[in-house]
Amino acid sequence: MSAKEESAGATALPRGTALLREPLLNKGTAFNAAERDAFGLRGLLPPRINSQADQVRRVLENFRRKPTDLDKYINLAALHDRNETLFYRVVVDNPDEMMPIIYTPTVGLACQQFGHIFQRPRGLFVSIEDLGRVESVLRNWPHRDVAMIVVTDGERILGLGDQGADGMGIPVGKLSLYTACAGVHPRQCLPVVLDVGTNNAALLEDPLYIGLPQHRVRGEAYDALLDEFIAATQVVFPGVVVQFEDFANQNAFRLLQKWRDRICTFNDDIQGTAAVALAGIVSALRISGGRLGEQRLLFLGAGEAATGIADLAVTAMVAEGLTPAAARARCWLFDSRGLVHDGRSDLVEHKRPYAHPHAPVTVFADAVRALRPTAIIGVAASAGAFTEEVVREMSAINKRPIVFALSNPTSKAECTAEQAYRWSSGQALFASGSPFGPVTLDGRRFVPRQGNNSYIFPGVGLGAITTRARRVTDEMFMAAVRALCAQVTPEDLAQGSLFPPLAQVREVSAHIAAAVAQVVFDQGLAGVPRPADLLVHVRSQMYEPSYADYTQGRA
């Protein structure tokens, strides 16, 4: 919804304190004189009228006084709850400063403390106790034009594990990025937690835990809740995009497979992570040379992220001319029990395509020596696993080793940027899941950038929403990879940056959305007529966090 649509018809707006308490409409001290008269705000606000720019300065001044990142998170959450337009103006104008607070890495700590910092509910909590009445719960949401749902059951929050209902911080943060990075209107965004209990003993003993104080429900009851929830979303919000987020491996793969050909859905942990990682590898190859099909990828981890990246890399290698079997043979997994190989009898289904003939290896550095990979990709939340021995071994094998420490939050990173550059004598092509600052080594300045899903999923979601796509396909994620790579400049590569700056993320998302839209129309999956210029169309649909004049009906 545009600002003009939102502001049309002064009589449709609440008055007085009700208007000040509606975060989608509240402008605080920026209400002008005519609005104060029209909506009964005289005396309820200080007499001086501030511009939005004045308000941003006040927000930043107070934000920067906060002593810890968690305090900053709480400060921004409070702003989000009282004035969404101002919140998004602050985030959009200061992405490098704000995104690490509203999402990774700080959102992980916020989830761990969620029950203790809880102030005001945001999103919907659908619990196992709502089985049989989920549709009525969804109808309690005040908006009917919801276009994007991010849903989690809280079992695998980042690299932190089971956070139960406290995992609500993830869909809230993810949807904030949809708006900030891709201009999806906040009114169209719905965060959801499916509370089926938690097996986190500390939460079960915490009197301030906000979820059901019971162990997780599994089996038929769990599946019944998921089925009822998905069905209800399509009734209450027809055509809504449903993004699965931070489900444990045992559910993530099967839920994606069950629903991906029936509704418009994707799993960002599997598909979004895959796309951003593959884009980073392609950018790295612009520096090191060589084709993707010539690379050997070794993943530390064998869950959603690792197999998702491997699957997409295989798709890209096949497009280069390799057979599927030859492409899979270039991808190796290393899990908690060691190298995944065909002699192991303990492998779950998603690991088996990457179980190749090899002797057992239980030490990651030994796997590097044995397999001689060109890239190591950390997605197991195993802090410090890329040791000096590992990085130096990679540097001995490769002139320009690819080292991706993608686990987050920062406390779970496989190595830091400084370690990767120092241990490789400045030769590593590095990306990370959490932010690291520039590194100076031997007079050379490196600017590492996050291989963060925020480069991918907002644009994919925007492309699906603006076309009313009926499905999200693998080809759309490949289009997103190509569009992201096209935004990485030679100047970026010269300083070791494999991704564009976050300051350009809205432009990046627009190009990704247009590329996704192209595939949607080409595959006959669109629910709207094809516009003449997809990029122009996408940009026209992007929300801009500027105040409307409620008395004039103009932005």
**Rounded Cα gap, residues 314 and 129, in angstroms:** 42
**Rounded Cα gap, residues 46 and 30, in angstroms:** 10
Which tens digits make up the pLDDT trace of 414-433? 999 999 999 999 999 999 99
Mean pLDDT of 2-16: 58
User: Taking 50 as the threshold, does the pLDDT of residue 152 lie above it?
Assistant: yes
Mean pLDDT of 216-230: 98
**pLDDT-based confidence at residue 390 (cuts at 50, 70, 90):** very high
| pLDDT-above-70 percentage for the chain | 97
Mean pLDDT of 35-39: 97
**Rounded Cα gap, residues 278 and 110, in angstroms:** 29
- DSSP secondary structure, 133-144, as one string: -HHHHHTTSS-S
pLDDT of residue 553: 54
pLDDT of residue 409: 85
The per-residue pLDDT of the chain, averaged, comes to 95
Angle at 273 between CA 178 and CA 123, to 5 degrees: 35
Which tens digits make up the pLDDT trace of 272-289? 999 999 999 999 999 999
pLDDT of residue 474: 94
Helix (H, G, I), strand (E, B) or coil at 191: strand
Q: Are 121 and 161 in contact (CB under 8 A)?
A: no
Q: Are 527 and 470 in contact (CB under 8 A)?
A: yes
Q: Are 545 and 92 in contact (CB under 8 A)?
A: yes
Catalytic machinery residues: 103, 174
pLDDT of residue 461: 98
Q: Which domains does the chain have, with CATH numbers?
A: 3-50 (1.20.1370.30), 55-263 (3.40.50.10380), 271-454 (3.40.50.720)
User: Taking 80 as the threshold, does the pLDDT of residue 313 lie above it?
Assistant: yes
Which tens digits make up the pLDDT trace of 93-129? 999 999 999 998 999 999 999 999 999 999 999 999 9
pLDDT of residue 144: 95
User: Taking 90 as the threshold, does the pLDDT of residue 342 lie above it?
Assistant: yes
Helix (H, G, I), strand (E, B) or coil at 378: strand
**pLDDT-based confidence at residue 3 (cuts at 50, 70, 90):** very low
